[in-house]
C-alpha cells in the first residue's frame, strides 16, 4: 500500500542548538589545524555527534583539562552550559573556552544566582545529573533542592523558607504547574506572633524553554492526523522524551527510534499516512533519511 510520509514542519533543531552547532562548525573551520574539543556530547543526538566528529571535533570531560594544559587547546561549552568551576579549571590550565551555552540557559543560571544571593531556598524541577542542572547547581554552590516528581515537592522542600521554584528548560510544563500549585499552597506566611510576620515568599519562575513547550500543541495536532508516528531522537534527550510522550498521548501508534535499524516493517502494514517528528536536537537531515527509508519500505 502506498504511504504518504510527512515530516512535522515544527520539528528540527531549536535555535539554541542551531547556534551551538554553527559555533562548533565555525570554530572547526577557523582553526582547521588545531585540536578543537567539546565538553561532553555536543547535543543529545548520536548521528549529529558522529557527523561533527568526522569534521574533527573531539569530545572530552573536565578531567582531561590537565593533560591539555598550555597546548593552546580550544574547548567548546555546549548549549547546556557549565558550572563556574569549569571556567576556573580552564583558566588554571591555560585552556581557551569557546562559550556556546544557549542564551536561555545563561539567563536561567543568572536568575538562580540572583535569588541565591538574596537568600532564597532554590528548588529546581529537573534531573539531578542532567548537564544543564549541573550548571545550575554550580551557580548556587549546590545549595538547591532538585526534584523531578510531585511528591518530592511535599517531602523535600522546607516550607518555612522563602522559596523560588525554577525548571530545567526541557521539563514538561504540566508537572511543573502541579508542583507550583502544591508549593503555592504550602509555602505561605508564617505567623510568628501577633505583631510580627515573617513573610515567607514563594516565587515560581517558569523557565521551561518555549522552543520545547511551544511545540507540544503543534505536535499533538500533527500526530492525531497520522495513522502512525515515528519519533526520531537520541535516547539521552530530555525534550525528546517529553515530546515523544506528547505524540504518544495524541496517537498511541507512535514509535520512538534513534536510528533506522529500529524500524519494524510490520508497523507500516495497512497504513497510509506516516508522520515523522523529533526532538529539538534531531537534525533535519536525519529525519529526511528516515523518511526515505520508510518510503522505500512501502515499495
Ligand atoms: S531547547 Fe531551548 S534552552 Fe534548550 S538549547 Fe534549545 S533554545 Fe536553548
Q: pTM for the full model? A: 0.86
- CB-based contacts of 92, cutoff 8 Å, min separation 6: 65
In this prediction, residue 75 carries a pLDDT of 97
In this prediction, residue 188 carries a pLDDT of 67
- CB-based contacts of 119, cutoff 8 Å, min separation 6: 162
Q: Per-10-residue mean pLDDT for the chain, 299 residues long?
A: 90 92 95 92 90 95 95 94 96 96 95 92 94 96 96 93 91 90 76 43 83 88 97 92 95 97 93 95 94 84
Q: Which of 11, 15, 243 to mutate to test the pocket of ligand 1 (most atoms within 8 A of CB)?
A: 15
Q: Is 97 helix (H, G, I), strand (E, B) or coil?
A: strand
How many angstroms is it from 125 CA to the middle of ligand 1? 16
For ligand 1, whether the C-beta of 147 sits within 6 Å is: no
How many angstroms is it from 190 CA to the middle of ligand 1? 37
Domains of the chain: 4-12+211-297 (3.40.1010.20), 15-101 (3.40.50.11270), 104-168+173-207 (3.40.1010.20)
In this prediction, residue 123 carries a pLDDT of 93
Sole residue written with cell 538574596: 118
CA–CA distance, 17 with 101 (Å, rounded to integer): 9
For ligand 1, whether the C-beta of 171 sits within 6 Å is: no
Beta strands in the chain (DSSP E): 4-7, 36-39, 57-60, 74-77, 96-99, 121-125, 144-147, 163-167, 190-191, 197-198, 202-204, 228-232, 254-257, 273-278
Amino acid at each position: 500500500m502506498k504511504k504518504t510520509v510527512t515530516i512535522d514542519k515544527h520539528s528540527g533543531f531549536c535555535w539554541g542548538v542551531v547556534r551551538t552547532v554553527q559555533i562548533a562548525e565555525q570554530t572547526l573551520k577557523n582553526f582547521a589545524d588545531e585540536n578543537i574539543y567539546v565538553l561532553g556530547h555536543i547535543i543529545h543526538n548520536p548521528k549529529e555527534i558522529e557527523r561533527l566528529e568526522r569534521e574533527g571535533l573531539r569530545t572530552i570531560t573536565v578531567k582531561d583539562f590537565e593533560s591539555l594544559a598550555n597546548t593552546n587547546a580550544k574547548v567548546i561549552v555546549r548549549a547546556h552550559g557549565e558550572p563556574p568551576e569549569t571556567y576556573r579549571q580552564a583558566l588554571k590550565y591555560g585552556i581557551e573556552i569557546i562559550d556556546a551555552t544557549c542564551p536561555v540557559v545563561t539567563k536561567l543560571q543568572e536568575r538562580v544566582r540572583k535569588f541565591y544571593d538574596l537568600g532564597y531556598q532554590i528548588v529546581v524541577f529537573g534531573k539531578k545529573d542532567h548537564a544543564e542542572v549541573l550548571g545550575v547547581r554550580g551557580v548556587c554552590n549546590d545549595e538547591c533542592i532538585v526534584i523531578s516528581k510531585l511528591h518530592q515537592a511535599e517531602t523535600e522542600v522546607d516550607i518555612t523558607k522563602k522559596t523560588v521554584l525554577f525548571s530545567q528548560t526541557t521539563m514538561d510544563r504540566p508537572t511543573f504547574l502541579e508542583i507550583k500549585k502544591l508549593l503555592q499552597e504550602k509555602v505561605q506566611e508564617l505567623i510568628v506572633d501577633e505583631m510580627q510576620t515573617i513573610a515567607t515568599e514563594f516565587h515560581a519562575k517558569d523557565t521551561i524553554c518555549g522552543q520545547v513547550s511551544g511545540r507540544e500543541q503543534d505536535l499533538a495536532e500533527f500526530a492525531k492526523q497520522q495513522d502512525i508516528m515515528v519519533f526520531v531522537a537520541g535516547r539521552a534527550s530530555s525534550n525528546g522524551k517529553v515530546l515523544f510522550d506528547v505524540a504518544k498521548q495524541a496517537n498511541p501508534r507512535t514509535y520512538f527510534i534513534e536510528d533506522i535499524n529500529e524500524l519494524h516493517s510490520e508497523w507500516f502494514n495497512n497504513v497510509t499516512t506516516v508522520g515523522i517528528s523529533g526532538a529539538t536536537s534531531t537534525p533535519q537531515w536525519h529525519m529526511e533519511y528516515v523518511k526515505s527509508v520508510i518510503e522505500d519500505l512501502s515499495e
